[in-house]
Amino acid sequence: MATVLRQSAKLTFSGLCSSFSVQCRNGRACAMPYVHHRYNSTTPKIKVDLDSTSGIAVMKFQSPPVNSLSLDFLTEFAISMEKLEMDKSCRGVILTSAQPKVFSAGLDIMEMYGKSPEHASVFWKAVQEMWLKLYGSNMVTIAAINGSSPAGGCLMSLSCDYRIMADNPRYSIGLNETLLGIVAPFWFKDTMLNVVGHRETEKALQLGLLYSSPDALKVGLVDQLVPEEKILSAATETMTKWLAIPEHARQITKSMMRKPTLDKLTSNRENDIKYFANFITKDSIQKSLGMYLAMLKKRKA
């Protein structure tokens, strides 16, 4: 189990090291932004560009076809977040997608289908790590949602401080787990509840609701809609406002708001992993996932 994770981390880490080697660790401005390079014929799944003058990093998901959150993607994400968090010249991160029409399709279903309990455990630990790093980040985090964002993609968006979505009713966002025959874990539920409240979350989770972008704005699942081509400039503008607030006061406030939710998982991580590995490998759940995968393929045909 540990080997799988180590191999995956090694795969992504060599690429990340080269991208981050130009950063200034002393907090002074760097002349060069982070730029990922090709390495070992494996293209990084996330491109990270830090403008050290503004203190704003853009993390662009570039994992075709739909930025699904595979073990490799999640490992790369956690390493990138950790690097940015430790870099004093970085104060805010914008998450967005390089793929057309999709921000992220959520957890990679292939990581959960036909896999051993050991693999499921390693994978789930990486999902937890992604959320802990993002929801618990000291930096200002903004999701620039330029495409559909179901399930795990919605969780990533909800974990940010602010959400801007492309104004396109064909893009949808929501925690649709029940439609796959699976159940959103308590920390997915809590993250949504903290954004839109109890009633909306209860309804959305039971029905597996995917909201169109105008509906997402109506219920407060996103904060703002903008034309797609303006999404990055709008995110940068909002980020600048958030970064103008005295940092220590904003960070302490964020931590005060989020710590109880984070603590619920950190004090229960091992049980949560065991529960997931047991749940996802059940025959009935595997059957539901198989049917959902077949539906995805059929819809395409």
Q: Summarize as ranges the residues that interact with ligand CO8 (CB under 6 A).
A: 65-66, 68, 101-102, 105-110, 148, 150-152, 176-177, 180, 182-183, 185, 276, 279-280, 296-297, 300
CA dist., res. 186 & res. 195, Å (int): 14
Q: Is 152 a catalytic residue?
A: yes
Q: Which residue in 107, 158, 265, 289 is the catalytic one?
A: 107
Answer whether 171's CB lies under 8 Å from 221's CB.
Answer: no
CB of 66 to ligand CO8, least distance (A): 5
Q: How far is CA 176 from its chain centroid?
A: 15
The SS3 of residue 210 is coil
- Residue in this structure with the two tokens 């940010």, named with its chain if needed: 160
Task: DSSP letter for 107, please.
Answer: B
For ligand CO8, the closer CB: 109 or 143: 109
Q: Which residue in 152, 153, 174, 208 is the catalytic one?
A: 152
CB of 202 to ligand CO8, least distance (A): 17
CB of 276 to ligand CO8, least distance (A): 5
Instruction: Tell me which residue of 153, 14, 129 sits closest to 77, measured CA to CA.
Output: 129
Sheet with 211-212, side-by-side order of all strands: 149-150, 172-174, 211-212
For ligand CO8, the closer CB: 177 or 190: 177
CA dist., res. 154 & res. 173, Å (int): 6
For ligand CO8, the closer CB: 55 or 150: 150
For ligand CO8, the closer CB: 138 or 178: 178
Instruction: Give the pairing of strands 56-61 and 140-145.
Output: unpaired
CB of 218 to ligand CO8, least distance (A): 21
CA dist., res. 244 & res. 197, Å (int): 28
Task: DSSP letter for 244, please.
Answer: T
Answer whether 163's CB lies under 8 Å from 221's CB.
Answer: yes
Q: What is the largest CA-CA distance in the chain?
A: 55
For ligand CO8, the closer CB: 109 or 139: 109
Q: Which residue in 176, 180, 210, 221 is the catalytic one?
A: 176
Angle CA 192–69–41, to nearest 5: 155
Answer whether 99's CB lies under 8 Å from 243's CB.
Answer: no
Q: Which residue in 76, 111, 129, 177 is the catalytic one?
A: 177
Q: Is 177 a catalytic residue?
A: yes
User: What DSSP element (H or E) covers 211?
Assistant: strand 211-212
CB of 21 to ligand CO8, least distance (A): 32
Task: DSSP letter for 228, please.
Answer: G
For ligand CO8, the closer CB: 8 or 19: 8
CB of 151 to ligand CO8, least distance (A): 3
DSSP3 helix / strand / coil % (the chain, rounded to 5): 55, 15, 30
Q: Which residues belong to the active site?
A: 107, 152, 176-177
